Structure 1
Amino acid sequence: MNKESVIIIENVTKRFPVGEGEFTALKNINLQFKRGEFTGLVGPSGSGKTTLLNIIGSLDSPTEGKAIVLGKNISDLSHQESALLRNKHIGFIFQVYNLLPVYTVFENVEFALLLQDYSKEERKKMVMEALEWVGLAGMADKKPDKLSGGEGQRVAIARAMVKRPEIVIADEPSANLDAANTHAILKTMKQLNEELGTTFLFSTHDEKVMGYLERIIHLRDGAVEEDEIIEANIINR
């Protein structure tokens, strides 16, 4: 697997205005993430995890420093260029599944492809393949209200993966799942990581999720406290 860096964070600081002052959410962050990593950002609430994910996902930009994602400096991108980067190259999985209730499972996953130049036949093939990855091919015609929590999160994974993105950002993806569903979801993500070479970047408090990570970056008060490589942590591999 090609292990070049797909994300480079150089001296990134992020400040937000608060009243007449400002709050520093990230302080001089320096990190690199290579293709195919399975990495987590870990730390208490307010440590900067989501802020850093938002910058990597081109939903925000640094106040100072550079965030280079797939060769593009996030601060230099227009709104249209940022949207294109997200639409084609980055998948998002959140703790709230954000499924559209009036659409079927198939349509919810297909939604990620509608802004791209695929034919109807190509979209159908890609959606069914993504649903097979997560074990839901037989539920393509169901509506979200007929799904369990674990199944809903699997649809969210399929929606993120259907375009085969280089990077998947998962912000607290197990927050609303029980232990059995968490392990099932993480095994699916790890399998896709290995088969497709996708870089997975998590934000998590969940020790069950941490058990699957190959690298854990500990954040506290907006700074990197520890960057830990886990040599043999992939449980139930």
Structure 2
Amino acid sequence: MTEQLEARELFRAAYENRYTWDKNFPGYTADVTVRQGNETHTAKVRVTENLSAEVSEIDDEQVKQSILEQVREIAIHRIRRSFEETHGKNTFTYGETDETGAVEILMGGKAEGDRYKVRNNEVCLVHRHIHGIVVTINTFGTHHTSEGYLSHRYHSVYHDVKTGELKGESEFEDNYEQVDNYYILTQRVIQAIEGDKQITTEFTFSNVTLLQPAVV
């Protein structure tokens, strides 16, 4: 498949428009409250300057792992990597344009089989193969900052790459606050969809404090 340079540049612009933390990000600490049904749990989180995550002051191991999973996922998406570092081994061609004006980008090379949609200089659909699972994420709303956009409302579906079996489906709503020079997630509401049931879990991060930069 011949690469279309216009498709590469369209995707590059949207990729570089994402909000990420710069190399001076010092890390942070926060209190976290988790609510699911009638249960409420509290803990403390710490994200270091190299974006490793820790959860403390909680005994429930299952809830602790759930918090850790969210904090790690948040940090992974804030890592700043150049376009060439992430997509240098991929090729890009146009797919279809949908009724909303979103342009489909089909991937070749290392990411063969993945696809994205770009609208208004933002990635509004991600369809990726990750460790035997096909992840499809549609984004319906974003936060805008002077340094790029952050996803606000989005829907994720997970299928087995071989069988096509549905492995999970969730709706997310994320809210951020600016702490000094950085935007930090302060609330994430997840509605896990299981058949006709919806299980809502709310993570609230408060008392967010940036760590002091390491002295060189």
TM-score by length of 2: 0.30
Larger Rg: 2
Higher strand share: 2
Greater relative contact order (Cα < 8 A, sep 6+): 1
